[in-house]
Amino acid sequence: MFSKMLDFNDFEGDFKELLIQFVKLKQSLGFKYVSEIGILQRFSKFTLKYTIENHILTKELADAWLEKRPTEKDVTWEKRINNLRQFAVFLNDLGYEAYIPVCKAKINRNLYVPHIFTHQQLLSFFSNCENIKPHSLSNKNLVLPAIYRLLYGCGLRISEAVALKLKNVDLMQGIITVLDSKFDKDRLIVLSPSLIQYLKKYFSKIHTLSNSEDFFFIKKNRTTLSRDTVYKNFRKILWKSGISHGGKGRGPRLHDFRHTFAVHSLNQMVQQGVDLYCALPILSTYLGHASVAATEKYVRLTEEAYPGIIDSVSKTCAYIFPEVNIK
């Protein structure tokens, strides 16, 4: 569907047809490739300043395009470099001569370690959720406890939760349908019996006059609940629950409910005797991961709390995952 969004006339210069071919290849492989298109279109216009023979991408041209701009952030610079680098590799694969640039951007990436909530912390958090005072202009006392329980109870991303509509939530069958999520995936989420009962009570108090197109989590004025509102109140409840927050970028974060769900679920499956050959793919599918390898990090997160899981992995499917050295 993304090819319909692309105006091929915006590409110019000697590389025009090859750039279009490259973008079509990326999209055929499942990449959205939206912001990248704009970068490559600007590159095609930049090439008009140069004389290009036989579709050769020279070092001179690449270096000139990739020179860091005075106010350009390293993240943006890195993206431009990588876009051209991938295009250069594509040209080489087709038999064209192309200089492959090296990424010079030095990104200081914050290696955030997820906070895995203990069961006691969860009990305290959800207990304080129930103590949110009712207000005539707000229904936060009803909506927030429900959405936090869903984030932990199903491992949903916050973007997935706030986007849910009534038609996506079947409380009779206990199934949630997540549409157009990350990686353009749709998936079905099965709810636990206790969560079904809780959401039914929430539904009866909030949605007596709603229709199928209404959002499941809504404010008093019937508009959708914002992620910002959910996060700000999350911070307040953490404080009331005695769970310290390390400040911006240090967590706990809302997304840590998802991490905690994954770790607790994996531990529970292993304790119940589920073979990890089955447990990991099940969890991967439930979370909507692109591959089972993406679920591997949750096994690592359990090393201190549940060392038996690591032992099980090493005995059954250690070959699936690469070694990770943590210093």
Q: How many residues would you count in the chain?
A: 327
Does residue 147 sit in the same domain as residue 198? yes
Mean pLDDT of the chain: 82
**Distance (Å, whole) CA 97 – CA 86:** 14
Confidence bin at 282 (pLDDT 50/70/90): confident
Which class for 150: exposed (0-12), middle (13-18), buried (19 or more C-beta within 10 A)?
buried
**Which of 100-104, 111-115, 187-191, 301-305 tops mean pLDDT?**
187-191
Residues 236, 237, 242, 245, CA torsion sign? negative
State the pLDDT at residue 323: 35
Q: Based on the domain organization, do 69 and 175 belong to the same domain?
A: no
Q: Is residue 307 within a helix (H) or strand (E), and if so which, with residue range?
A: helix 307-316
Question: Given this model, what pLDDT does residue 254 score?
Answer: 93
- CATH number, position 186: 1.10.443.10
Question: Would residue 107 count as lying in a domain?
Answer: no
Residues 12 and 86 grouped into a single domain: yes
Structural domain contains residue 99: no
More confident call, 10 vs 300: 10
Please state the rounded mean pLDDT for residues 287-309. Answer: 61
281 domain-assigned: yes
Domains held by the chain: number: 3
Q: Order of strands across the sheet with 187-190?
A: 169-170, 175-178, 187-190
Banded model confidence at residue 285, pLDDT cuts 50, 70, 90: confident
Q: Which residues of 102-139 are buried (b: 16+ CB within 10 A; e: fewer)?
A: eeebeeeeeeeebbbbeeebbebbeebbeebeeeeebb
Check whether residue 123 and residue 235 sit in a common domain: yes
Q: Would 246 be classed as within a structural domain?
A: no
Q: How confident is the model at residue 221 (pLDDT cuts 50, 70, 90)?
A: confident
- At residue 304, the 3 state secondary structure works out as coil
Q: Determine, yes or no, domain membership for 103.
A: no
Whether residue 221 lies inside any domain: the answer is yes
Do residues 234 and 268 both lie within one domain? no
H/E element, 189: strand 187-190
Residue 17 and residue 53 share a domain = yes
The pLDDT of residue 238 is above 80:
yes
Rounded distance between C-alpha atoms, residue 168 and residue 177, angstroms = 5
Q: Higher confidence at residue 2 or residue 141?
A: 141
Whether residues 87 and 134 share a domain: the answer is no
Is pLDDT at 249 greater than 80 in this prediction? no
121 to 95, 212, 239, 243, 261: CA distances (angstroms): 59, 35, 11, 7, 13
Spatial contact of 147 and 227, defined as CB atoms under 8 Å apart? no
Say if residue 89 is in the same domain as residue 123.
no
pLDDT of residue 164: 94
Look at residue 142 and tell me if it is in a domain. yes
Give the pLDDT band of residue 326 (cuts 50, 70, 90).
very low
Q: Are residues 137 and 206 in the same domain?
A: yes
Q: Is 207 exposed, middle or buried (0-12, 13-18, 19+ CB in 10 A)?
A: middle
Of 70-79, 169-178, 281-290, minimum mean pLDDT range: 281-290
Where among 77, 93, 109 does a domain terminate? 93
Say whether both 270 and 308 belong to one domain: yes
- Among 107-111, 253-257, 281-285, the range scoring the smallest mean pLDDT is 107-111
Write down the residue that tokens 């060392």 correspond to: 307
Number of helices (H), then strands (E), in the chain: 13, 3
Phi and psi angles of residue 7, each rounded to the nearest 5 degrees, phi first = -95, 105
Same domain flag for 132 and 236: yes
Mean pLDDT across 59-64: 94
Residue 110 reports pLDDT greater than 60: no
Residue 98: what are its φ and ψ, rounded to 5°? -150, 135
> Does residue 266 contact residue 309 with C-beta atoms inside 8 Å?
yes
Q: Which residue has the higher pLDDT, 309 or 42?
A: 42
- Is residue 250 situated within a structural domain? no
Q: Which of 184, 215, 240 is the last residue of a domain?
A: 240
- The verdict on 148 and 222 lying in the same domain is yes
Domain of residue 142: give its range: 119-240
Q: With CA atoms as reference, report the closest residue to 18 among 78, 92, 82, 99.
A: 92
Domain boundary among 207, 240, 273: 240
